[in-house]
């Protein structure tokens, strides 16, 4: 999520702005603002739990229950946004769909299962290298796995920006961020209840700060519907700084 929200978005802005008249990349404001809202809701839950754990107050003893409530609320917010968004896209789309809903859903399911197996294999093969060079797990997850594991989508987003398909580029990048923050993460929290070690919204303080600042940066930079090379470089710089922090974690 962090890689897409700042690194890939930054590279897409650099590419799109460089190829645009006046060196300014223009796109619709709705999706960036919606993504920022979803990120802020997710960070709100994560930050409150992080503060509670750090302060060791009463809520810190109920992180699991709070995470479940937060996950349900976050999924509700996501679905409230998703349904009108898909309907509006359908109303503005042109031409006939090349695939029916059933075919598209089957392909998506098969691709998702295949990606899960490939990701598991990739992480397993990466483990010896991580141990050999003493690379932190945070750096491996946020940098190596995030970039290499999502390489196709990353390249597509930047390529679309280079081809001046700005709205589509922003859609590819921002929808990925929204899905992870407001759908996949809370869904995993709920699914993990079936296992001995449940997943919660409690994460390390440094990543709480990183997520909060990422949400603010995404809102501030993309909320006006324009992007410049300067703003793209700024986002890439944020990612490099984050990578440096996780490298020495």
* Burial class, 110, CB count within 10 angstroms (exposed 0-12 / middle 13-18 / buried 19+): exposed
CATH of span 2-16+33-84+125-247: 1.20.1420.30
Higher local confidence (pLDDT), 166 or 153: 166
**CA-CA distance, 210 to 224, in Å (whole number)?**
22
pLDDT at 97 over 60: no
Please state the domain extents for the chain: 2-16+33-84+125-247
pLDDT for 34-93, tens place per residue? Answer: 998 999 999 999 999 999 999 989 889 999 999 999 999 999 999 999 888 777 765 555
Q: In 93-181, which residue ranges form alpha helices assigned H by DSSP?
A: 101-133, 137-139, 146-149, 151-162, 166-179
CB atoms within 10 A of CB 12: 29
């Amino acid at each position: 999520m962090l890689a897409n929200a700042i690194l890939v978005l930054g590279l897409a802005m650099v590419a799109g702005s460089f190829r645009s008249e006046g060196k300014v990349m223009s796109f619709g404001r709705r999706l960036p603002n919606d993504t920022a809202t979803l990120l802020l809701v997710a960070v709100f839950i994560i930050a409150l739990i992080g503060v509670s754990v750090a302060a060791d107050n009463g809520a810190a003893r109920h992180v699991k229950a709070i995470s479940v409530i937060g996950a349900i609320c976050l999924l509700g917010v996501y679905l409230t946004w998703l349904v009108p968004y898909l309907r509006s896209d359908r109303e503005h789309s042109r031409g006939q769909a090349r695939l029916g809903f059933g075919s598209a859903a089957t392909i998506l399911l098969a691709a998702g299962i295949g990606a899960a197996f490939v990701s598991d294999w990739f992480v397993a093969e990466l483990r010896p290298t991580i141990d050999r060079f003493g690379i932190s797990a945070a750096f491996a997850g946020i940098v190596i796995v995030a970039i290499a594991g999502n390489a196709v989508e990353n390249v597509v987003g930047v390529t679309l920006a280079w081809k001046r398909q700005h709205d589509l580029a922003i859609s590819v990048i921002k929808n990925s961020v929204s899905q992870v923050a407001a759908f996949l993460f809370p869904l995993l929290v709920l699914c993990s209840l079936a296992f001995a070690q449940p997943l919660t919204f409690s994460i390390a303080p440094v990543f709480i700060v990183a997520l909060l600042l990422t949400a603010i940066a995404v809102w501030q930079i993309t909320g006006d519907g324009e992007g410049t090379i300067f703003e793209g470089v700024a986002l890439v710089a944020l990612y490099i700084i984050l990578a440096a922090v996780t490298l020495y974690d």
